[in-house]
Amino acid sequence: MRQCIGKMTGMSRAPVTRLIQVYAKGEEVKVQPHQRHQFPGRYRREDIELLAAVDEAHETLSGPPTQELP
């Protein structure tokens, strides 16, 4: 039974077993969408635009030389 459900849903053995246990308790079976953790971005859009403006003003310097500007 587990293999059949696994093949039909594309889920691995452990999640299928958990869903069967939920069904056996008489609860409604719902598959929760996977929520991937995302780290916040290092730079905001405004920061990127400001860095691009500084690079353009100084004849397109790369990051390290831009940091050394007074």
Cα–Cα distance for residue pair 4/27, rounded to 1 Å:
21
Report the C-alpha gap between 47 and 35 in whole angstroms: 28
pLDDT of the chain along its 70 residues, tens only?
889 988 988 889 998 999 899 999 999 988 778 788 888 888 888 988 888 888 788 777 666 665 666 6
pLDDT at 47: 86
Q: What is the pTM of this model?
A: 0.44
Residue 26 confidence (pLDDT): 93
Q: What are the residue boundaries of the structural domains of the chain, listed by start?
A: 1-31
